[in-house]
Amino acid sequence: MDDKSKRGKDRYAVIGWPLGHSMSPLIHNASFDALEINDRFIALPLSPSEFEPFMESLPSSNLRGLAITIPYKTEVLNYCSERASEVKAIGAANTISVGEDGGLVAYNTDAGAAGRALKEAGVELRDEKVVVLGAGGAARAICFQLLWQKAGAVTIANRTLSRAESLSEGLQQAFSDADVTAIPLNNDALAEALETARIIVNTTSLGMYPYVDECPVDTGLLKSGMVVFDIIYNPVETKLLRAAREKGSKALPGTDMLVYQAAEQERIWLGVDAPINMMRKALLKELSKAS
């Protein structure tokens, strides 16, 4: 039984709605335990009517940091007195630190974590053409990162073409010399894009638990020597990644990005070097229970 008197203080939390079974408390608490940090990280599901009063009371609360997930990644910016440079570009935050004076500073660790996951897997982005599937918030953060890491071209494929077009326009405004195109998420358009692209990043929810039989790409379009990065982490191996692996491509699951974004949050909040291997182990153990 959880004996609250023996627990550290609830200093960090993830907010979102609906929050579902967030992995953030598990990953952060595994790290806090390993680092002997006597703080706890909790899940705080906040309905839309609870969001505003919560954010207004945050500066005077015990909380020192927040992780933010859907649907509040943009709305939280209205309460922040400072925004890190990546937040100014992307327009969304997944992290807030609460200063001693109650000032809220917004950061985005998703983008850098995606870049790190690719880098640590030995994927060099410079001058590469990348096909990004999806045009939502995650796609936006990742596209910025790809261009910051000097990808040669980005093709955004989305079910709703107008969303891909508007993301593409935004990127072209931010990176004047960027080669960015928008295409519909269909076989013909993808087949053409994949004639010259070797790297695919899936940011859509297709294939996410419980819809594990869905796949955003016709697997016949995958070839050996590609890199396929799926930001979904449950299941760890999506249908897309299984097909990529079977074709001899490099298949990167979303678990690393999840751990890296959490590790960076701890660097921001606490200035610590989080124990990434331990966090990953705790996450994979939990995810293996679900499969």
User: What is residue 155's three-state secondary structure?
Assistant: strand
For the CB of residue 260, give the shortest distance to ligand ATR in the complex, in Å. 17
User: What is residue 140's three-state secondary structure?
Assistant: helix
Q: Which of 73, 129, 239, 250 is catalytic?
A: 73
For the CB of residue 254, give the shortest distance to ligand ATR in the complex, in Å. 11
For the CB of residue 133, give the shortest distance to ligand ATR in the complex, in Å. 8
Q: Which is nearer to ligand ATR, 130 or 139 (CB)?
A: 139
* Cβ neighbour number for residue 216 with a 10 Å cutoff: 22
Contacts with ligand ATR by CB under 6 A lie at 70, 134-139, 158-160, 163, 185, 203-206
Which distant-in-sequence residues (6+ apart) come within 8 Å of 69 by Cβ?
A: 14, 15, 16, 19, 22, 24, 94
**Burial class (CB within 10 angstroms; exposed 0-12, middle 13-18, buried 19+) of 85:** exposed
For the CB of residue 272, give the shortest distance to ligand ATR in the complex, in Å. 28
Tell me, what DSSP letter sits at residue 102? S
**Chain residue whose CB lies nearest ligand ATR:** 136
Active site residue 73: yes
For the CB of residue 206, give the shortest distance to ligand ATR in the complex, in Å. 5
The answer to whether residues 132 and 154 touch, using CB atoms and an 8 Å cutoff, is yes
The secondary structure element, H or E, covering residue 130 is strand 129-133
Q: Which is nearer to ligand ATR, 160 or 187 (CB)?
A: 160
Q: Which is nearer to ligand ATR, 59 or 136 (CB)?
A: 136
CA distance 148 to 151: 8
CA distance 154 to 163: 15
Using alpha carbons only, what angle is made at residue 67 by residues 61 and 73, rounded to the nearest 5 degrees?
105
Q: Which is nearer to ligand ATR, 112 or 134 (CB)?
A: 134
The answer to whether residues 240 and 213 touch, using CB atoms and an 8 Å cutoff, is no
Q: Which is nearer to ligand ATR, 30 or 232 (CB)?
A: 232
User: Which are the catalytic amino acids?
Assistant: 73
